[in-house]
């Protein structure tokens, strides 16, 4: 079994950097044939993953957070190389979807000795700028503006960074009117945000699409309608348990293909990465990615 570990040493406040030598030592002790690739910038993980797949490497292991996972996924599109996750980020939501324990990243590395794999869905995104893929959650509107701020914020980390970004963004945010086409059926909704889930949570445990599955061939959509700032603040904590779905301003939808447009410019973020601007078309690609899971 050949493995390429693609590591972002800055993930998780430098947690990943401390893990790199420990993961290397562990893989050598298990006689796992591997290389350790250190990504030096935001463009590197995708390129390194693509090059590993082209060399015939059987598993690419993303050592880092959800953003590192998303970038590696885009490098593996169209290949037979499987993705493994060694969680070392701030949120690690995707790792939790796979049944991994972010508190024990070496346990995830031990799976590489005798890996068990399964196929999961991906989401293809087409915007006016480009085509990209994500594996977990994407959003436009309030959600994407929170992402912009969170990516710039350095003095708080983890879930606290997203919570901080939510409340700072809320002060200046104005709702828009979204036109959403689900498998050809159009709906026009005034909304603060539209979130599309292949997975169920993001931002360190915000269960925005609590019933989403990585393997059902369908995308879940959460539309948060126009609410007052007070109502938003009152309701926001419920998202960590998925109980926001009962709020009258929340609409939950499902479709295989979703087209999203709005009456003013909004950006779309998926797996923490800028996907492009609206309008966007998001399509599920069933069983498109092999992932390593706990046996």
**pLDDT range class, residue 157, cuts 50, 70, 90:** low
d(CA 188, CA 261): 10
Answer yes or no: pTM beyond 0.95.
Answer: no
Higher pLDDT, 12 or 113: 113
Distances from the Cα of 142 to the Cα of 11, 100, 138, 171, 269, angstroms: 25, 30, 12, 11, 11
Do the beta carbons of residue 173 and residue 207 sit within 8 Å?
A: no
- What does the pLDDT read at residue 158? 65
User: How does pLDDT run across 241-264, given as a tens digit for each residue?
Assistant: 999 999 999 999 999 999 999 999
Level-2 CATH architecture, domain 2-114 = 3-Layer(aba) Sandwich (3.40)
Q: Where along the chain do its domains lie?
A: 2-114, 131-286
Do the first three CATH levels of 2-114 and 131-286 match, i.e. the same topology? no
Task: Locate the DSSP E strands across the chain.
Answer: 2-7, 33-38, 59-64, 82-87, 116-126, 131-134, 137-141, 176-182, 185-197, 219-225, 250-255, 257-262, 267-270, 273-277, 280-293
**pLDDT range class, residue 63, cuts 50, 70, 90:** very high
Class of domain 131-286: mainly beta
């Amino acid at each position: 079994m050949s493995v390429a570990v693609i590591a972002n040493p800055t993930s998780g406040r430098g947690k990943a950097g401390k893990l790199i030598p420990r993961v290397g030592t562990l893989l050598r002790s298990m006689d796992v044939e591997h290389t350790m690739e250190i990504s030096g910038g935001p463009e590197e993980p995708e390129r390194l993953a693509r090059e590993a797949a082209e060399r015939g490497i059987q598993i690419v292991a993303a050592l880092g957070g959800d953003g590192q996972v998303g970038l590696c996924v885009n490098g593996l599109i169209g290949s037979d190389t499987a993705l493994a996750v060694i969680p070392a980020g701030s949120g690690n939501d995707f790792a939790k979807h796979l049944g991994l324990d972010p508190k024990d990243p070496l346990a995830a590395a031990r799976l590489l000795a005798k890996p068990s794999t399964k196929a999961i869905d991906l989401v293809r995104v087409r915007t006016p700028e480009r085509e990209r893929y994500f594996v977990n959650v994407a959003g436009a509107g309030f959600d994407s503006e929170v992402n912009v701020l969170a990516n710039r914020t350095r003095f708080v980390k983890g879930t606290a960074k997203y919570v901080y970004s939510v409340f700072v963004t809320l002060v200046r945010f104005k709702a828009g009117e979204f036109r959403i086409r689900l498998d050809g059926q159009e709906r026009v909704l005034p909304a603060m945000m539209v979130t599309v889930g292949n997975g169920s949570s993001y931002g360190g445990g915000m269960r925005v699409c609590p019933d989403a599955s990585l393997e059902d061939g369908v995308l879940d959509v959460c539309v948060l309608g126009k609410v007052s700032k007070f109502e938003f603040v009152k309701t926001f904590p419920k998202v960590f348990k998925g109980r926001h779905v009962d709020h009258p301003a929340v609409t939950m939808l499902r479709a295989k293909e979703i087209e999203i447009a709005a009456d003013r410019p909004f950006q779309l973020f998926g797996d923490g990465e800028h996907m492009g601007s609206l309008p966007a078309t998001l399509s599920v690609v069933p069983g498109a990615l092999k992932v390593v899971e706990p046996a």
